[in-house]
Structure 1
């Protein structure tokens, strides 16, 4: 695996120097300040490349921008409303500019409205570390009583509705505001962030968009962008839904192995690929991550390795971001499947034999606490995760090399 690290640009509390000292080999970043649907110019791309190529003292970092995460797909494209055709044309132009700059991998997602959803961005563990958590009951309290989405109550089981009502009744204004802010927290993969009114308006815009309609819109998008990517040597990799089950009455079409297989078959070219995120997919008990890597691995262009622990076995339920080797996904088995895929690619002479991986998320530990970094992206917590994953990789490689 090629060890990469997500960086949110010059305002990121985790610096280029920190990345370099962590021993990463490449950088995953994006032009987070640009509005969705606009063109990423060659000048803006070059500026970001220059920023990450230099340490604080002005010396060269030796790091390069290797993976884009994310080149956002606008809501207009997903709903096929407004300037959606222009937005697709701009997306293709941005992709060409990125390829001209030497970048070969673009991670993106097709999630409606929110890129990811958590109810707690700093949930305290028994060790004193903090992590992100999705609490299904808290989310029900938000959806039914704070957002007051029409029909929300019918989307939850009776027992969840009852507990959510009691939990909401016990919330003061500050707690309600905090929960709402956590749920609609704008992922720093785009320039967009949302108010409650924004969310209500966006949900209204999705009223005619069923699962089947969103699938067709995704296929329409792929039919335009994937052949261009194939032609210019760009690898596209769609991130799964996070969490991988229905929320807010919105369609979810990238939550299971079957979803991925259908999207890959829709435009069956190598450039149309997968971001295998073990944390997002691992929030469903019916997703077999090592098996998915074995069965779909030839189209996996990017890896997010993180672990979650579910509170139960329900498809829709609560979970938290566990340590990289501590959750319910067998990370050793998953890394072994990745190494098998890389060996097969090497034997086939593929130029992408080494798959870029980043230690996704991480718990805030030690000096991460109080640093004020991006939720889920601590310096030391990710460094710990990267070290653990490196250890697994090295141990499996040593075992494979033994006679």
Structure 2
């Protein structure tokens, strides 16, 4: 697999030099400065490519993560043809610049969501964590969303209320900031009133409506992606469950099958995120990878440890609940199948997704989940698994 590294652009505290020193050769990035729905110009794409390909690094831009989908598309709101046209033009421009893999997600309002960004790990490391009682406390008692207390066990509601009653304004503000931390790049964060207003726009949008809006998007853009040789890869929901009353439709094996069938073409593909899918108690991630192997164009490899109440924490890459060795074996097997079929695009880019803050990561600025040394450790462990499996195969 192509060993890659997420980089958030020139303002990222973790440099391209660090990515190279970690052993990556591919870079996964986006033009975060461009507002959603606007065209990515050839000039802007080539400028970013030039930064990545600077002499001495030996790096190349291998995956766009993400070419974002405008919120109005998810809402099915208004005349969407100009937005679709701009997305198609961005795809054409990316292809003209040699980019062939584009990741995107269809999560309403928020991206990945955690309640704690510095959960302690034995030995003093820090990890990302989703605490169900903190999420319920925010949704029910801070956001005060009608019906937010429904569907939760009494003990979770009791813990949520206890957290809220003992919280301070500062701890509530920190919880809001943690929940907003998953939004990428320079995207505006919501405060409580603006989040309420955004959620209100989704009144009446259920899972079926959101699926219909995704299908409309795919029908509008996949023909262009196929024409120019780009594979679009949808990212699973993180966490794989409805949040704040919003539907999420990329959470299970059945969800993925339905999406890939909406426009049944290889260009309509999957980003296999083992952490997002692994947070669902009924998902068998290696089995999902096996079923959809021929439509996986990009892989995020990380692990989570789940609690019975629905909470989970980012685990070590080879720890947690997903059999990472089995998963990597599936992906390497798919690469061998593609290579034996004579395909030039046989290699699947992967990146070590998220990582613990360890050693000198602590006290240094970085995007939540994306410290330098924690990801270096994850990439090194995954590289070892790949080398061992390839040696065994050979």
TM-score class, shorter-chain normalisation, is over 0.9
Query: Does the aligned pair in 2 maintain the 1:34–1:190 contact within 8 Å?
Result: no
3-state DSSP of counterpart to 2:124: coil
Query: Does the aligned pair in 1 maintain the 2:125–2:357 contact within 8 Å?
Result: yes
Deviates more, 1:90-99 or 1:157-166: 157-166
Please state if 1:367 is matched with 2:360. Answer: yes
Please state if 1:263 is matched with 2:256. Answer: no
Work out the CA distance in 2 between the residues paired with 1:189 and 1:218: 23
Please state if 1:64 is matched with 2:57. Answer: no
Q: How does 1:123-162 map to 2 (within 5 A)?
A: 123-162=119-158
Q: Given the two structures, how large is their TM-score scaled by the length of structure 2?
A: 0.98
Q: Given the two structures, how large is their TM-score scaled by the length of structure 1?
A: 0.96
Work out the CA distance in 2 between the residues paired with 1:278 and 1:33: 28
Shift of 1:276: 0.4
Query: Does the aligned pair in 1 maintain the 2:181–2:368 contact within 8 Å?
Result: no
Which residue of 210, 224, 229 corresponds with 2:225? 229
The corresponding residue for 2:8 is 8
The corresponding residue for 2:27 is 27
The corresponding residue for 2:102 is 106
Work out the CA distance in 2 between the residues paired with 1:136 and 1:86: 39
3-state DSSP of counterpart to 2:292: helix
Work out the CA distance in 2 between the residues paired with 1:291 and 1:272: 20
Please state if 1:92 is matched with 2:88. Answer: yes
Shift of 1:191: 2.8
The corresponding residue for 1:18 is 18
Which residue of 210, 213, 220 corresponds with 2:209? 213
Q: How does 1:73-88 map to 2 (within 5 A)?
A: 73-82=69-78, 84-88=80-84
Which residue of 343, 352, 363 corresponds with 2:345? 352
Instruction: Give the alignment's Cα RMSD to 1 decimal.
Output: 1.2
Shift of 1:215: 0.3
The corresponding residue for 2:39 is 39
Work out the CA distance in 1 between the residues paired with 2:33 and 2:50: 16
- Runs of 5+ unmatched residues, structure 2: none
Alpha carbons of structure 1 residues 34 and 184: separation in structure 2 relative to 1, 3 Å: same
Work out the CA distance in 2 between the residues paired with 1:83 and 1:30: 26
Q: How does 1:142-291 map to 2 (within 5 A)?
A: 142-189=138-185, 191-291=187-287
Q: Which runs of 4+ in 1 moved over 6 A?
A: none
3-state DSSP of counterpart to 2:167: coil
In the TM superposition, what whole-angstrom CA distance separates every residue of 1:177-210 from its partner, at most 9, and x where no partner exists?
Answer: 1011111225225633222222111110111211
Shift of 1:65: 1.1
3-state DSSP of counterpart to 2:33: coil
In the TM superposition, what whole-angstrom CA distance separates every residue of 1:237-265 from its partner, at most 9, and x where no partner exists?
Answer: 00000000111111110000110100001
Deviates more, 1:216-225 or 1:81-90: 81-90
Alpha carbons of structure 1 residues 235 and 294: separation in structure 2 relative to 1, 3 Å: same
Work out the CA distance in 1 between the residues paired with 2:80 and 2:35: 14
Work out the CA distance in 2 between the residues paired with 1:29 and 1:148: 36
Query: Does the aligned pair in 2 maintain the 1:186–1:194 contact within 8 Å?
Result: no
Work out the CA distance in 2 between the residues paired with 1:16 and 1:247: 34
